[in-house]
Chain A
Amino acid sequence: MKTILTDRPLSLDLGDREDLVCFDLSRMRIAPCVGCFGCWTRTPGSCVIRDDAVKVYPRLAESDTVLYVSRVRYGGYDLPVKIMLDRAIPVQQAFIRLLDGETHHVQRSVVPKRAVIVAYGARDREEEDLFRRLVARNAKNMSFAHYEIRFTGEEQVEAAVRQEVEAWKRS
């Protein structure tokens, strides 16, 4: 199972393979997390906000490969991807475990995954370095067994994504 999360429309031919899905967040209705802890303590594993996010995070959890496409803002994801990743916390439990000597939330049934992040619009090396540090932290909390960041200009986003998808199709 392979999933693309993108903050902008992409012209992709995914063919008819059911194991490839692309969520264009710019066309979805997803509200920001309200920090109610409902997905941990009231309806465990399900968000209390029943918008389009509830289609996305179960799919992310069961994917062995994910590709995120996001503009970089202040060394982090821009709003569309950021909002979705914040809303993905139902895939974790409230309970804390030790991972690599640090405290982190216990994951529910989340498949360890390979993540590729196509990150565009970073202003300089400093912003890229901060984004690298963010993704390294995400790896611990989002079950990235391996990850790769491809910094690119806005004009090269489609080509970078297409290259990855073609590799998926061949696999």
Chain B
Amino acid sequence: MEKILILNGSPRAPRSNSKRYGALFDRAWGGESETMDLLRADPGAVAERLETVSRVLLVFPLYADAVPVPVLRTFQALEERPPKNRPTLSVLVNCGFLEPEQCDVAVDMAALFCKQMGWPMGSVLEIGSGEAILDSPFRFLAAWKIKALARAVAADRPRRLKAAMPVSKAFFLKASTRYWLAYGARHGVTGEEMATMEIEGQRPS
């Protein structure tokens, strides 16, 4: 199988969920791959690698309803010094919200980048509840969709896939609250403290 370049666009690349999603994709891909963290990678080095592959998977978390800064920076750098090669760009995006559709705008930003660069847009997997799903009993659903994504990418057959925990919104609210309470407790911060209405120690007058 042809080599694929996996670009991790997370602002916390070395310890990110995107890294875990990229690793799951790599396992499902089965062929040769190379992963680069956009947070630290020199854009010139990214452009250099892009000359050597026909397929790229961009993995990133949703940030303020859009692509995160390392992805935006890379897009701009590639536009300024475009590689001669025009690889097919596939996308794996995750958000902490239950609805994968909340990632639609970010995916379409990547698609617009492809259009402006003359690159083919490949397949897409949007993962809702992506902050926690890998550590939940529904991990298998994410892994299953990632395998489907890998097959679609390998076959050059663009698909738009979605995955999320198959739970009600009410259940998700309770589960996410438990998740964040446990997260805060690891730092000795209570739920009440986390729920403060103050911003920088002040409430608006």
Q: Quick one: closest B residue to A47, CB to CB?
A: B200
Q: Tell which of B10, B12, B108, B194 touches A93, judged by Cβ atoms closer than 8 Å.
A: B194
Q: Tell which of A40, A82, A108 touches B199, judged by Cβ atoms closer than 8 Å.
A: A108
Report yes or no: B12 in contact with A34, Cβ–Cβ below 8 A.
Answer: yes
Interface centre among B10, B96, B198 (most CB of A within 10 A): B198
Interface SS of chain A: helix, strand, loop or mixed?
mixed
Known: A41-B184, A75-B105, A126-B112. A35 touches B194 (CB 8 A): no
Stretch at the interface among A9-17, A99-107, A148-156: A99-107
Q: Tell which of A1, A42, A54, A103 touches B173, judged by Cβ atoms closer than 8 Å.
A: A103
Q: How far is the CB of B61 from chain A (nearest CB, A)?
A: 7
Q: Quick one: closest B residue to A40, CB to CB?
A: B194
- In the complex, how many residues of chain B place their beta carbon closer than 8 angstroms to a beta carbon of chain A? 55
B23 on interface, CB distance cutoff 8 Å: no
A137 to B10, CA, bound (A): 21
B205 on interface, CB distance cutoff 8 Å: yes
| Residues on A facing B (Cβ under 8 Å) | 1, 32-37, 40-42, 44-46, 54, 57-58, 61-62, 73-77, 79, 82-83, 85-86, 88-91, 93-98, 101-104, 106, 108-111, 123, 126-127, 130, 133-134, 137-138, 141
